[in-house]
């Protein structure tokens, strides 16, 4: 019979996560958080294999990081490595005792990209595109469903995980708006949004008071994200790789236009600090990166200013 010490020596990161970290530290966490850890573990299992936690050292972790960055880029690599390091520090805790000390890890330098939102004109193109959607979602025409979803997202700036968890009873017609409940928010704080008449009208077109969720359970969060990426492509929206082509661009729009109109985008998005919100500002909307034009070298000499000399 194997002793507890022998059993512990064979524990892998997958076992550490499933049997220890998940029930002790992630109880009550969102499915998205759990999925993020599982994705990091999938990469580790694929590139390293079932290595026991006790054998993980700095050199081996660095080799994993070097292989992973070639596949997913610096930003995603840092995210996955950070999740794995949380597990390794947990393993090194004296109450767990699976690792003498966690490996050292060097965070990779990430390219600093300018935040991309959707400008008003781009959003109009998106709405025009979804008007051509065929089929039905949640029992309603897909065009009406997408129109309501996108207009609510544009007005509220909600993360689309929270957006798809809005309940039918959260719409308060008499007050002309909706509540976003605390348990669907990242900061666990409820928010109230007053909505303009055209958004309420779009919601009413797909509203079923007998349905639990406002936008139904017909599609998963991942499916909606993939569909929205295709909608942006069909709309001809500039969206290079790594810029964030999904709903977070609408969240950046909320931040950027609220700032441009003199509002409080930090409060509007529920951020803890303005420094977080500033990373959402699209310079095309806020104008933080605009510079004056230089004199053109292509003007004909006849169009250059002339000076008359007297005397």
Q: Which residue has the tokens 């669907």?
A: 184
Per-residue confidence (pLDDT) for residue 304, from 0 to 100: 54
**Torsion angles phi and psi, residue 110, rounded to 5:** -100, 145
Using left for φ > 0, alpha for ψ between -120 and 50, and beta otherwise, residue 236 falls in left
The angle subtended at Cα 245 by Cα 244 and Cα 250, nearest 5°, is 90
pLDDT > 90? residue 158:
yes
Range with the largest mean pLDDT of 6-10, 94-98, 236-240, 244-248? 94-98
Question: 159 with 243, same domain?
Answer: yes
Nearest-10 Cα torsion for 298, 300, 301, 306: -90
pLDDT at 113 over 90: no
- Specify if 57 maps to a domain: yes
Q: Are residues 135 and 265 in the same domain?
A: yes
Residue 44 placed within a domain: yes
104 lies in some domain: no
Q: Where are the alpha helices (DSSP H) in 93-181?
A: 120-130, 142-156, 160-163
Percent of the chain with pLDDT over 70: 87
Domain boundary among the residues 75, 92, 109 is at 92
Residue 247: domain span: 120-286
Domain boundary pick from 72, 92, 112: 92
Query: Cα-flanking dihedrals φ and ψ of residue 137, to 5°?
Result: -130, 130
Mean pLDDT in the chain? 88
128 and 78 inside one domain: no
32 vs 140, higher pLDDT? 140
**pLDDT value of position 220:** 75
**pLDDT of res. 58:** 96
Q: How far apart are CA 269 and CA 254, in angstroms?
A: 8
pLDDT-derived band of residue 195, with 50, 70 and 90 as boundaries? Answer: very high
308 burial level (CB within 10 Å; 0-12, 13-18, 19+): exposed
Cβ contact 41:19 at 8 Å: no
**CATH number, residue 77:** 1.10.150
For residues 125 and 130, give the distance between their C-alpha atoms in angstroms, rounded to a whole number. Answer: 9
Local structure of 95: helix, strand or coil? coil
Which pLDDT band, with edges at 50, 70 and 90, does 1 fall under?
Answer: very low
Q: What is the mean pLDDT of residues 80-96?
A: 95
Residue 203 placed within a domain: yes
In a domain, 186, yes or no: yes
Q: Which two tokens stand for residue 153?
A: 């997202």
Contact in structure between 196 and 155 (CB atoms under 8 Å): yes
257 and 178 together in one domain: yes
**pLDDT of residue 44 exceeding 90:** yes
pLDDT at 3: 43
Per-residue model confidence (pLDDT) at position 193: 95
- Do 85 and 124 belong to one domain? no
What is the average pLDDT across 66-71?
96
Q: Smallest Cα–Cα separation from 144: which of 226, 213, 199?
A: 199
- Asked whether residue 202 falls in the same domain as residue 134, the answer is yes
State the average pLDDT over residues 185-210: 92
**Is the distance from CB of 45 to CB of 14 less than 8 angstroms?**
yes
pLDDT attached to residue 302: 54
Q: Is residue 41 part of a domain?
A: yes
Domain boundary among 92, 112, 143: 92
pTM of the model: 0.75
At 226 the pLDDT is 84
Question: Do 50 and 144 have their domain in common?
Answer: no
Of the listed ranges 60-64, 66-70, 126-130, 219-223, the one predicted with least confidence: 219-223
CATH number for 159: 1.10.443.10
Q: Is residue 8 part of a domain?
A: yes
Whether residues 50 and 151 fall in one domain: no
Q: Is 301 within the bounds of a domain?
A: no
Question: Per-residue confidence at 10, pLDDT binned at 50, 70, 90?
Answer: confident
Q: Are residues 81 and 158 in the same domain?
A: no
Q: Which two tokens stand for residue 136?
A: 């039905």
Instruction: Assess whether 168 and 250 both reside in one domain.
Output: yes
Same domain, 181 and 280: yes
CA 76 to the chain's CA centroid: 12
pLDDT at 310 over 80: no
DSSP category for residue 141: E
Are 192 and 271 in the same domain? yes
Structural domains of the chain, count = 2
Q: Which residue has the higher pLDDT, 232 or 290?
A: 232
């Amino acid at each position: 019979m194997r002793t507890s010490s022998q059993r512990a020596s064979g524990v892998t990161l997958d076992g550490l996560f499933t049997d220890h970290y998940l029930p002790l530290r992630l109880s009550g966490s969102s499915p998205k958080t759990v999925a993020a850890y599982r994705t990091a573990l999938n990469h580790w299992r694929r590139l390293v294999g079932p290595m026991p936690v006790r054998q993980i050292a700095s050199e081996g972790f660095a080799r994993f990081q070097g292989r992973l960055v070639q596949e997913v880029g610096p930003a995603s690599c840092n995210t996955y490595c950070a999740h794995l390091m949380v597990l390794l520090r947990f393993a090194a805790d004296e109450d767990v005792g699976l690792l003498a000390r966690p490996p050292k890890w060097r965070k990779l330098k990430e390219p600093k990209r300018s935040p991309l939102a959707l400008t008003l004109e781009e959003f109009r193109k998106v709405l025009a595109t979804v008007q051509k959607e065929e089929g039905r979602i949640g029992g309603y025409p897909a065009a009406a469903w997408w129109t309501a979803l996108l207009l609510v997202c544009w007005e509220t700036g909600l993360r689309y995980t929270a957006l798809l968890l809005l309940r039918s009873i959260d719409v308060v017609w008499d007050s002309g708006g909706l509540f976003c409940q605390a348990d669907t928010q990242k900061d666990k704080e409820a928010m109230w949004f007053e909505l303009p008449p055209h958004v309420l009208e779009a919601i009413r077109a797909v509203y079923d008071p007998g349905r639990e969720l406002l936008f139904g359970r017909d599609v998963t969060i991942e499916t909606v994200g993939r569909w929205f990426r295709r909608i942006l492509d069909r709309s001809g929206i500039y969206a290079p790789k790594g810029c964030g082509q999904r709903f977070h661009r609408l969240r950046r729009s909320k931040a950027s236009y609220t700032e441009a109109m003199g509002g409080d985008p930090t409060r509007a998005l529920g951020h803890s600090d303005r420094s977080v919100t500033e990373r959402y500002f699209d310079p095309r909307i806020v104008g933080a990166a605009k510079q004056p034009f230089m004199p053109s070298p292509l003007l004909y000499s006849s169009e250059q200013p002339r000076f008359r000399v007297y005397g």
